[in-house]
Chain A
Amino acid sequence: MNESAVYWSRMLTELTLSFHILYATIGVGVPLMIMIAQWTGYKNNDEHYILLARRWARGFVITVAVGVVTGTAIGLQLSLLWPNFMQLAGQVIALPLFMETFAFFFEAIFLGIYLYTWDRFESQKKHMLLLIPVAIGASMSAVFITIVNSFMNAPQGFDMVNGELVNIQPVLAMFNPAMPTKVAHVLATAYMTSAFVLAAIAGFLILRGSTHIYHKKALYLLMKLGLIFSIATALIGDFSGKYLAEYQPEKLAAAEWHFETGKDVPLVLFGKLEDGEVKYAIKIPFALSILAHNNPRAEVIGLDQFAEEDVPPLYIHYLFDIMVSIGMLMMLVSLIYVVAKWRGWQFIYRKWFYWIVVAGGPLSLLGIEVGWWLAEVGRQPWILRGVMRTAEGATTSGQVDLMFLLFCGVYLVLGVGSMVVLVRMFKKNPIEREIAERQAEKGGDIL
């Protein structure tokens, strides 16, 4: 075993995935938003929504490009950095990995068609139908790749006899206990994040002085969608807690700094760990028992039940707090917006409120990042929980540190490049101009 290779393999995987999921989350969520906007526009015969779909789609191409190439990178890096793991996993979990490429294929084909057949079909409906396979393909690839990840958390569908794999059941491996909550959580948060990121852009443009009704329509639509998906996220988060209590109690206990097994367990919010003592924390009585078992009096397994080498790092508590706080905050912001809109309250048109909306975009992306770090660090020290330690899966190659630096440079170039292109794309062609052009093209004032 090569200690430094293990360390740098972990770092490089974390780097690639952390960069990839920003674009991947948008890649999963935005096609749905485009589809909804196009559908709303078509249904209400409102050109604004059609333009919304068109402009989102244009920006989406840039994020998709970065998502595709970094996805290819992590796909290859899995074998390059974790050859032992992939050799084992390939025998049990190759099926969803393979199916993911089909979903991806499907999406790529129809996205290409959608983008290049604008105005080519006589009815907008036909064109709109192309978005269904795009959205389905995007979501299905998230489903399949999350199944692979949930297998790593709850491996099943095979037996280990003297270090040999026997009785392999690929379908059983796919439908592991972690799968339902993981897949649902990934999808809901991707939709939620995409809605808030697009809302942040609309909010930002309004703050910059664009008064067009187009932005307000966009914002209202996105806030409604954001509210729905953030409520879904919270519900699924609760199910995830129950899953953890049942199947991965060490992750839940570490995330909640729950050291001693016992009944009537409070939920620890925030706080600081000093010499094994929890300080400055808010404790909500019975809440962890409720989260784990839906029963305020239930017993929750603590870290005292696990050998020291099986306990994940305790800093994941901070990640858990950040993730939950962001989720709750965004649910609240979108709820306030929707209620205010309904009741006619005016404060949502004030600058300070738009600034909160703008902050919601990056915050949601941060929530995605910390959520993944929590999920991944929370299963340390295992790469396949209970089967293979992370260190056993890593490569023995001596050049991983060098590759880490190389990829740092690449992601920097891609991140900056995509930002520059996106900003320039929309700055040079503001909505007012596009609407004017479109009017001239159609020869009537439909707007």
Chain B
Amino acid sequence: MTLEVLGISVLWLFLFGYVIIASIDFGAGFFNAYSLLNGKNHIITDIISRYLSPVWEVTNVFLVFFFVGIVGFFPQTAYYFGTVLLVPVSISIVLLCIRGSYYAFSAYSPGKNTSYALTYGLAGLLIPASFSVVFAISSGSFIEMKDGAPTLDYWKLYTSPFAWSIVVLSIVAVLYISAVFLTWYADKARDKEATKLMRKYALVWAAPLMIAAGGIIYELNFFNKELFARMIMMWPMFAASGILFVATVYLVWQGKHYGAAVITLISQFALAFFAYGIAHYPYLLYPHLTIYDSFTNKAMAIALVVAFVLGLLLLIPSLYLLMKLFLFNKDYVRGEEDHHA
């Protein structure tokens, strides 16, 4: 495996990590806000805040890790993506700012303030939508080179059915992933009512997810034939992903093995995410930028890999400790031990 492939694989893995935990996070914020509106917040607010509070900051770091890493390993992405993404990513940043700080405002303000919860719930749902535009752009044909500098064709982007399919998919996926995860978490907390409600949400969002995913593959056929052909070549992975999706829905439907459902859920998205990534290889920005022509110099690559390994040695035990204390600790999850500062 070359350093280029290693670099992009690691970054893709971190992006996947962000997609999953951010989905749980954003979806939870939305469900929390929604429950305030329909008066069901007494059922799920506790469960949601008990999960979210210790981890929200960590979620954000996964994103920072990805974008710092990609500029480090592939400095030319800063030039191409940086130049064209000013407006779309600025919108994402604004939403992230509102969401992150209003989460803290809401969780720590004495006497619960509904408007804070609604603000972060709504902002959270728009973040995946605004970021997913980057995926559409990286698949090509929205960027033109003018005088040697890349420019973005906004009109073409905002009227593209393909871009909108990705937006829809990202929102639906967020709600689905979050609902399945929170069903498991609520069940672990032995909170029957919350489990029931989250289970309902999980099943409700399963069908739109499949429709949206199918829609994207259909749109892609018109949008970028080469990428479509490569995706078709990856069909075994997509098929396995589909089977895992059915398994997840079945497990949630059965209402017994929620832990297994979370595992099949994550595997399903991992397969689809990596199949998409492999189909994209070797392009970072089709057809202008490949991972080979944008890779950093050898000295920096080696230094980054060394820093990365050392960093992981620090990070993995810490993350393990975090999960042990808050995700797999029965007393904490059940709310019997909630002594926060």
- A22 in contact (CB, < 8 A): no
Interface residues of B in 16-46 (CB under 8 A from A): none
B296 lies within 8 A of A83 (CB)? no
Chain A residues, CB < 8 A from B321: 109, 113
Q: Are B111 and A112 in contact (CB under 8 A)?
A: no
Interface residues of A in 63-120 (CB under 8 A from B): 64-66, 68-73, 75-84, 86-92, 94-95, 97-102, 104-106, 108-120
> B62 CB to closest chain A CB, in angstroms?
9
B79: Cβ under 8 A from any A Cβ? yes
Q: A98 CA to B72 CA in the complex, in Å?
A: 7
B103 CB contacts on chain A under 8 angstroms: 65
Is the beta-carbon distance between B65 and A101 smaller than 8 angstroms? yes
A255-299 interface mask toward B, CB cutoff 8 Å, 1 = contact, 0 = none?
000000000000000000000000000000000000000000000
Q: Would you call B307 an interface residue if the criterion is a C-beta within 8 Å of the partner chain's C-beta atoms?
A: yes
Task: Please tell me if the beta carbons of A102 and B105 are within 8 angstroms of each other in the complex.
Answer: no
Contact A108 B75 (CB under 8 A): no
Chain B residues whose C-beta falls within 8 Å of the C-beta of A57 in the assembled complex: 341
B287 at interface by CB-CB < 8 Å: no
**Alpha-carbon distance A118/B339, docked complex (angstroms):** 5
B215 at the interface (CB under 8 A from A): no
Best-buried of A62, A81, A90, A120 by chain B (most CB within 10 Å): A90
Cα distance A351–B109 when bound, in Å?
A: 31
- Beta-carbon contact of A395 and B58 below 8 Å: no
Complex-state Cα separation, A380 to B75, whole angstroms: 24
Within 8 A of A (CB), among B54-99: 54-55, 57-58, 60-61, 63-65, 67-69, 71-73, 75-76, 78-87, 89-90, 93-94, 96-99
CB-CB under 8 A from A407, the residues of chain B are 90, 94
Known contacts A97-B68, A168-B297, A399-B87, A69 near B82 by CB under 8 Å: no
What are the interface flags for A167-211 relative to B under an 8 Å C-beta threshold, 1 for contact and 0 otherwise? 011110000000000000000000000000000000000000000
B292 close to A (CB within 8 Å): no
Nearest CB in chain B to that of A87: its residue: B79
Chain A residues with CB under 8 Å of B87's CB are 397, 399, 402-403
Known: A108-B58, A168-B299, A428-B111. A119 touches B71 (CB 8 A): no
Number of A-B contacts (CB under 8 A): 235
CA distance A62 to B341 in the complex (A): 13
* Interface check B197, CB cutoff 8 A: no
Query: CB-CB contacts of A407-423 with B at 8 A, as 1s and 0s?
Result: 10010011001100100
A57–B299 CA distance with the chains assembled, in angstroms:
41
Given A104-B64, A421-B109, the answer on whether A80 and B304 have CB atoms closer than 8 Å is: no
Q: Could you tell me the distance in whole angstroms from the C-beta of B45 to the nearest C-beta in chain A?
A: 17
Query: CA A72 – CA B300 in complex, angstroms?
Result: 23
Is there contact, CB below 8 Å, between A79 and B71? yes
**A62 close to B104 (CB less than 8 A):** yes
CB-based nearest B residue for A402 = B87
List the A side residues contacting B78 at CB < 8 Å. Answer: 78-79, 83, 86-87, 90
Task: Report chain B residues within 8 Å CB of A112.
Answer: 53-55, 57-58, 322, 326
Docked Cα-Cα span, A413 to B98, in Å, equals 8
- A119 CA to B72 CA in the complex, in Å? 41
**Does A125 count as interface, using CB distance less than 8 angstroms?**
no
Residues of A in contact (CB 8 Å), total 80
- Classify the interface of chain A: helix, strand, loop or mixed: helix
Whether A366 sits at the interface, judged by CB under 8 Å, is: no
A54 at the interface (CB under 8 A from B): yes
Contact B82 A395 (CB under 8 A): yes
Distance in angstroms from A431 CB to nearest chain B CB is 14
For residue A429, CB closer than 8 A to chain B, the reply is: yes
Residues A117 and B339 in contact, CB atoms below 8 Å apart = yes
Shortest Cβ distance from residue A369 to the other chain B in the assembled complex, whole angstroms: 20
Please tell me if B221 contacts chain A, counting CB pairs below 8 Å: no
Is B1 an interface position by the 8 A CB rule?
A: no
Query: Does A436 have its Cβ within 8 Å of any Cβ on chain B?
Result: no
Q: Which B residues from 97 to 123 make CB contacts under 8 A with A?
A: 97-105, 108-111
Q: Is the CB of A80 within 8 A of B86?
A: yes
> Which A residues are CB-close (under 8 A) to B332?
116
Judge whether A414 and B314 touch: CB under 8 Å.
no
Q: Are B93 and A95 in contact (CB under 8 A)?
A: no
Task: Decide: B93 and A72 in contact? CB cutoff 8 A.
Answer: yes
Known: A98-B69, A116-B326, A116-B340. A414 touches B86 (CB 8 A): no
Task: Give Cα A94–Cα B311 distance, bound, in whole angstroms.
Answer: 15
A13 interfacial contact with B, CB 8 Å: no
Cβ-closest chain A residue relative to B326: A116
Contact of B71 among A72, A97, A111 (CB under 8 A): A97
Inter-subunit contact B314/A76 (CB<8 Å): no
Closest B residue to A417 by beta carbon equals B105
Count chain B CB atoms within 10 A of each CB in A62, A119, A171, A397 and give the residue with the most.
A397
- 18 inter-chain pairs at a CB distance below 8 angstroms, sorted by A residue, are A69-B101, A73-B93, A73-B97, A77-B93, A84-B79, A90-B78, A91-B297, A94-B300, A97-B68, A102-B314, A102-B315, A104-B61, A105-B315, A114-B341, A116-B325, A402-B87, A410-B98, A424-B109
Q: Beyond A105-B311, A108-B61: 12 further Cβ-contacts under 8 Å? A: A72-B97, A72-B100, A87-B78, A90-B296, A102-B314, A104-B64, A108-B60, A109-B318, A118-B340, A120-B337, A406-B94, A413-B98
